[in-house]
C-alpha cells in the first residue's frame, strides 16, 4: 500500500473522548470505593501504539470549555504523544454538555467484567466538520492514514455525517482510510436503515477494513462464517470465506482483517487473527494468552496493524505485530497498549516473557 509522504501525522481519528473509571485489583464496581481514571476512546486507543513508537497521531474531537475533565483528557493525550484538534464547546450550565463516563471493572476468573456507559449529553454527539480545518489537516499538513470507528460513527446522526465528510476530505488528498466497524447493538437500535447506509458509504471508501463476524453481518449485511467444527481453529476456512464475501462487496479496500477470540475464563483467552492483503491470507491460529483486562484488545490489534503498514512491513509482519499489539493491550489496566519499543511487542508475539536487564 502506497502512503503519502512528508505528512505531519501518521494516523488521525475522529473520536469522542471520555474517561474510564476502574476499581483496582479486578474488584466489581458496585462494591468499590476507589477507582483509577484514564482518558479513553476506542479511536485514541488505536492512535497509541504508533504514537508510543514515534509516529504522531491526531485526535479530532470536541471538548467542554472550562471542564477539568477536558483538561485531564488534553493532558493525557499530550503525554501519550497524541495531538488534538477541535473546538471547546460551552457547557451550557450544569445540565449541558459533558464528556462520557465509562464505568467498568476487569472481572476475575469466573466473574465476567461489567461495563456501564454513561453518555447522556456527551459533547461528541455534536461533532461537525465545520469546526475543523480539514483542508489544513489533510491538505497542507497531511495525514497518512485516517482511522474511523463504528463507535463514533454510530453515536448520532451528526457523528455519522461527520465521519463521512472527514473521509471524503481525506480521500481527496490521498490519505488512506481505515475503518473498524465496531458494531454496538445499543447504538443501532431503531437506526438500522440509517446506519447501514452510512457505514456502507464509509466502507466503500476504505482502504483497510476491519471487523469481526458480527460486525460484518450487522453493519454491512455480509453473511458470517458458517457454523461447524469445534473451536475457532476449526472455523478458519469459514472466516476466510466471509472475508472473501466482504472483498466482493467492497473491492476498493486492499487490506481486510478480523480477530479471533474465544473466552476460556476472564483471565485466559484464545487469541488469533486473519488478514488479507491483496490475494493472500495471513493467519495466526488462536493461541492462549493471559488477560489482565480485556478491554482494548481489538483496538490494540488495529493499532499494531496500522503501525506495520506505516512502517512498510510485509503483510506477514504487520499481521504478527497486530496480533501482538492486541495481546499486549490485555496485559495492562489501560484500554490502550503503550510499548516502550518494538521489541516489547515482538517479544509478546514470540512468547518471550523472560526478564530483560
pLDDT tens per residue across span 206-221: 999 999 999 999 999 9
What is residue 226's predicted lDDT score, i.e. its pLDDT? Answer: 77
C-alpha cell at 357: 536487564
| DSSP summary character for residue 33 | S
C-alpha cell at 62: 470536541
Residues 219, 189 contacting (CB under 8 angstroms): no
Residues 17, 75 contacting (CB under 8 angstroms): no
The set of residues, in sequence order, having a beta carbon less than 8 Å from that of 189 and lying 6+ positions away, is none
- Three-state DSSP at 196 gives helix
Give the Cα separation of 73 and 236 in Å (integer).
Answer: 40
What is residue 229's predicted lDDT score, i.e. its pLDDT? Answer: 62
Give the Cα separation of 7 and 310 in Å (integer).
Answer: 12
Average pLDDT over the chain, rounded to an integer: 96
Residues 280, 246 contacting (CB under 8 angstroms): no
Residues 195, 188 contacting (CB under 8 angstroms): yes
Nearest alpha carbon to residue 152 among 198, 107, 106: 198
pLDDT tens per residue across span 58-93: 999 999 999 999 999 999 999 999 999 999 999 999
Mean pLDDT of the 94-102 span: 95
| DSSP summary character for residue 86 | -
Predicted model pTM: 0.96
For residue 201, the cross-strand partners are: none
pLDDT tens per residue across span 16-51: 999 999 999 899 999 999 999 999 999 999 999 999
Of the CA atoms within 13 Å of residue 155, those in its CB half-sphere come to 29
Give the Cα separation of 19 and 56 in Å (integer).
Answer: 22
pLDDT tens per residue across span 6-19: 999 999 999 999 99
Cα torsion through 24, 27, 28, 29, rounded to 10: -20
Residue 155 burial by CB count (10 A; 0-12/13-18/19+): exposed, middle or buried? Answer: buried
What is residue 233's predicted lDDT score, i.e. its pLDDT? Answer: 75
The set of residues, in sequence order, having a beta carbon less than 8 Å from that of 144 and lying 6+ positions away, is 3, 4, 7, 9, 10, 11, 175, 176, 310
Q: Map grid coordinates 506505516 to a residue.
A: 310
Residues 296, 327 contacting (CB under 8 angstroms): no
Give the Cα separation of 150 and 42 in Å (integer).
Answer: 10
pLDDT tens per residue across span 299-326: 999 999 999 999 999 999 999 999 999 9
Q: What percent of the chain has pLDDT over 90?
A: 95
Amino acid at each position: 500500500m502506497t502512503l503519502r509522504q512528508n505528512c505531519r501525522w501518521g494516523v488521525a481519528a475522529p473520536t469522542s473522548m471520555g474517561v474510564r473509571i476502574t476499581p483496582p485489583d479486578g474488584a466489581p464496581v458496585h462494591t468499590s470505593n476507589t477507582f483509577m481514571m484514564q482518558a479513553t476512546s476506542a479511536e485514541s486507543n488505536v492512535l497509541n501504539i504508533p504514537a508510543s513508537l514515534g509516529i504522531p497521531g491526531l485526535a479530532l474531537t470536541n471538548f467542554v470549555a472550562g471542564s477539568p475533565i477536558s483538561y485531564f483528557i488534553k493532558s493525557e493525550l499530550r503525554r501519550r504523544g497524541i495531538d488534538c484538534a477541535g473546538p471547546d464547546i460551552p457547557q451550557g450550565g450544569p445540565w449541558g454538555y459533558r464528556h462520557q463516563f465509562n464505568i467498568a471493572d476487569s472481572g476475575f476468573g469466573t466473574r465476567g467484567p461489567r461495563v456501564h456507559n454513561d453518555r447522556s449529553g456527551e459533547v461528541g454527539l455534536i461533532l461537525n466538520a465545520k469546526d475543523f480545518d480539514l483542508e489544513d489537516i489533510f491538505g497542507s499538513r497531511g495525514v497518512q492514514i485516517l482511522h474511523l470507528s463504528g463507535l463514533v460513527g454510530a453515536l448520532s446522526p451528526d457523528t455519522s455525517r461527520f465521519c463521512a465528510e472527514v473521509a471524503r476530505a481525506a480521500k481527496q488528498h490521498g490519505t488512506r482510510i481505515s475503518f473498524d466497524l465496531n458494531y454496538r447493538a445499543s447504538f443501532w437500535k431503531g437506526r438500522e436503515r440509517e446506519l447501514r447506509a452510512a457505514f456502507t458509504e464509509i466502507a466503500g471508501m476504505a482502504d483497510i477494513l476491519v471487523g469481526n463476524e458480527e460486525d460484518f453481518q450487522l453493519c454491512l449485511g455480509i453473511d458470517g462464517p458458517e457454523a461447524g467444527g469445534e473451536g475457532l481453529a476449526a472455523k478458519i476456512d469459514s472466516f476466510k470465506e466471509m472475508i472473501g464475501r466482504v472483498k466482493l462487496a467492497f473491492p476498493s479496500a486492499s487490506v481486510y482483517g478480523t480477530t479471533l477470540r474465544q473466552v476460556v475464563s476472564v483471565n485466559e483467552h484464545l487469541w488469533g487473527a486473519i488478514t488479507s492483503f491483496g490475494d493472500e491470507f495471513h493467519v495466526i491460529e488462536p493461541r492462549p494468552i493471559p488477560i489482565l483486562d480485556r478491554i482494548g484488545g481489538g483496538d490494540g490489534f488495529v493499532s499494531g496493524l496500522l503501525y506495520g503498514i506505516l512502517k512498510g512491513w510485509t503483510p506477514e509482519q504487520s499481521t504478527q505485530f497486530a496480533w501482538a499489539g492486541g495481546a499486549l493491550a490485555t496485559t495492562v489496566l489501560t484500554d490502550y497498549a503503550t510499548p516502550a519499543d518494538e521489541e516489547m511487542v515482538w517479544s509478546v508475539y514470540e512468547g518471550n516473557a523472560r526478564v530483560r536487564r
